[in-house]
């Protein structure tokens, strides 16, 4: 098979959550374990750091990967979903897995794939672990796909577990209350393995503390120790932060090549994780100069995209992957305090999400361009338009995200602002 034929096979034959929704979600690790067993259990042949959470886990994963790379370690990074290129999911030192290796992996394991019948995500995890093991990475940063306890990535025994935060998302799969959702995320806590929790929440903190006690795992809450304050944003790409720890100044000017209102929380999580990375396994990782170098050059190290990303100026065009209540609330709080004449919002969602609670965080004083993401589970633009109108959000429906953005560009003046937001799959079509 060619590379394109291989991708067509993966998309056509394997259930893919991003495209078809909950039907692709496997509620156990049987297939992943069977695939890993077939491959010689590659997940045990490299060191790893496991990252879960409702929001921020992608940013935190990229930052931790950049730190490991800056310290001189050959670093794997597994993330999901991808924006443009399937190979974004599997990187070593920022380099995508070669097309030939994707083709060879599927061809060499076709019999096992047909026999085990994994989901798309299960196969991606196995492919990533096989690639990392074969390439002998020093460490891999592994981002959880969904939840934690039953996520396919949860077959590793990491050096450190990280859970960024808990908020409402995927309730149909993870539970309808924050303690239920936290219980699923807490499933990545392993016996004796330290765990960093990014944010303290009264409903989720007891869940994490109980699980950590049961597993005899050291636990720390980053926000109880680190104070991160945004000082200045430079050219939409780099932000300057002041950082304190336990009431004492740690960094007066920590430059981070990432922007957005949520990064203050992510940075606190990253700093706590950095402090808890074991020097015995990763010598030199905790040098301050390593941290400063890594955070100042995240995109160069890791090809970090899609988060608070500027796609044009005059008018300013901003894309962001916020897609649930907590993320969107923070994003719009920041956006509404920014200077612009008129706000234009290009948005779309998936059809298995209750969009009304999410749309409640969208500003009424904006012009809307509703679009269906180009995936089978994309919500029809006219349906979204109707649901939004009930909440006083007015705009037109468009046949594609690109057409919606073109219309916004045509309507906007140089002093206006265009925001593309709502679903990772909407952002993926324009980045």
> What pLDDT score does 175 carry?
55
Domain 309-428 class in CATH: alpha beta
Residue 32: the pLDDT is 96
- Distance CA(17)–CA(408), nearest Å, equals 30
Q: Which residues pair with 317 in a beta bridge?
A: 312, 418
CA distance 63 to 196: 15
Work out the pLDDT band at 174, boundaries 50, 70, 90: low
Residue percentage of the chain with pLDDT more than 70: 94
Angle between helices 99-108 and 120-134 (to 10 degrees): 110
Give the C-alpha separation, 61 to 420, whole Å.
Answer: 23
294 pLDDT above the threshold of 90: yes
Q: Report which listed range, 14-28, 52-66, 309-323, is most confident.
A: 52-66
Largest interatomic CA distance in the chain:
59
Mean pLDDT of the chain: 91
Domain with CATH 3.40.1190.10 in the chain: 3-302
Whole-number pLDDT of residue 234: 59
Phi and psi of 227, rounded to 5°?
A: -115, 120
Task: Kindly state the helix (H) or strand (E) to which residue 401 belongs, with its residue range.
Answer: helix 401-411
| pLDDT category of residue 416 using cuts at 50, 70 and 90 | very high
Overall average pLDDT of the 237-250 stretch: 92
pLDDT higher for 62 or 145? 62
For residue 9 the two structure tokens come to 């096979």
Is the confidence at residue 6, as pLDDT, over 90?
yes
CB 325, CB 166: distance < 8 Å: no
The fold of the 3-302 domain, in CATH, is 3.40.1190
What is the structure's pLDDT at 270? 98
Q: What is the pLDDT of residues 339-352, one digit of tens each?
A: 899 999 999 998 87
pLDDT exceeds cutoff 90 at 99: yes
Average pLDDT (38-64) is 96
Beta-ladder partners of 233: 239
Could you give the CA distance from residue 403 to residue 399 in angstroms, rounded to a whole number? 7
H or E stretch covering 398 = strand 395-398
Do the Cβ atoms of 222 and 189 come closer than 8 Å? no
**Could you give the CA distance from residue 254 to residue 314 in angstroms, rounded to a whole number?**
29
**In which band, very low, low, confident or very high, does the pLDDT at 54 lie, cut at 50, 70 and 90?**
confident
Q: For 262-277, what is each residue's pLDDT tens digit?
A: 899 999 999 999 999 9
| Confidence at 21, pLDDT banded by 50, 70, 90 | very low
Listing DSSP states for 200-215 in one string gives --TTTHHHHHHHHHHH
Confidence of residue 26 (pLDDT cuts 50, 70, 90): low
Q: How many CA atoms lie within 13 A of 97 on its CB side?
A: 29
pLDDT digits (tens, 9 = 90+) for 121-130: 999 999 999 9
- pLDDT of 168: 63
pLDDT tier, 169 (very low <50, low <70, confident <90, very high otherwise): low
The pLDDT value recorded for residue 235 is 62
Q: Where in the chain is the domain with CATH 3.90.190.20?
A: 309-428
Q: How confident is the model at residue 20 (pLDDT cuts 50, 70, 90)?
A: very low
Res. 389: pLDDT tops 80: yes
Mean pLDDT confidence for 2-30: 72
Instruction: Enter the pTM of the model.
Output: 0.90
């Amino acid at each position: 098979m060619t590379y394109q034929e291989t991708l067509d096979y993966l998309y056509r034959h394997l259930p893919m959550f991003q495209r078809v929704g909950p039907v692709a979600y496997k509620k156990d690790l049987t297939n992943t374990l069977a695939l890993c067993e077939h491959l010689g259990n590659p997940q045990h042949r490299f060191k790893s750091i496991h990252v879960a959470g409702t929001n921020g886990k992608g940013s935190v994963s990229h930052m931790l990967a950049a730190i490991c790379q800056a310290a001189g370690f050959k670093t794997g990074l597994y993330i999901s979903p991808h924006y443009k290129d399937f190979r974004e999911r599997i990187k070593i030192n920022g380099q995508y897995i070669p097309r030939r290796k994707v083709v060879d992996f599927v061809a060499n394991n076709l019999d096992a794939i047909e026999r085990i019948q994994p989901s798309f995500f299960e196969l991606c995890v196995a492919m990533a672990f096989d690639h990392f093991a074969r390439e002998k990475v020093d460490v891999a940063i592994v981002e959880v796909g969904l939840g934690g306890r039953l996520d396919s990535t949860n077959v590793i025994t990491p050096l450190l577990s990280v859970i960024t935060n808990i908020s409402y998302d995927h309730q149909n799969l993870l539970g309808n209350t924050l303690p239920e959702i936290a219980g699923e995320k807490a499933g990545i806590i392993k016996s004796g393995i330290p765990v960093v929790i990014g944010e303290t929440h009264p409903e989720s903190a007891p869940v994490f503390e109980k699980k950590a006690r049961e597993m005899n795992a050291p636990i720390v809450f980053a926000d109880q120790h680190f104070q991160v304050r945004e000082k200045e944003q430079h050219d939409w790409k780099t932000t300057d932060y002041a950082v304190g720890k336990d009431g004492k100044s740690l960094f007066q000017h920590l430059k981070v090549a990432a922007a957005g209102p949520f990064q203050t929380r992510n940075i606190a999580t990253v700093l706590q994780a950095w402090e808890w990375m074991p020097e015995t396994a990763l010598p030199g990782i905790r040098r301050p100069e390593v941290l400063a170098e890594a955070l100042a050059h995240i995109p160069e190290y890791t090809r970090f995209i899609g988060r608070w990303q500027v796609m044009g100026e005059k008018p300013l065009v901003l894309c962001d992957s916020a897609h649930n209540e907590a993320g969107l609330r923070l994003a719009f709080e920041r956006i509404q305090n920014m200077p612009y004449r008129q706000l234009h919002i290009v948005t779309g969602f998936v059809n298995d999400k209750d969009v009304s609670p999410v749309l409640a965080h969208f500003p009424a004083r904006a012009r809307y361009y509703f679009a269906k993401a180009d995936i089978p589970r994309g919500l029809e633009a006219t349906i979204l338009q109707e649901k939004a109108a009930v909440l006083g959000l007015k705009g037109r429906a468009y046949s594609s995200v690109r057409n919606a953005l073109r219309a916004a560009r045509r309507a906007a003046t140089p002093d206006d602002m265009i925001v593309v937001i709502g679903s990772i799959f909407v952002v993926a079509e324009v980045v």
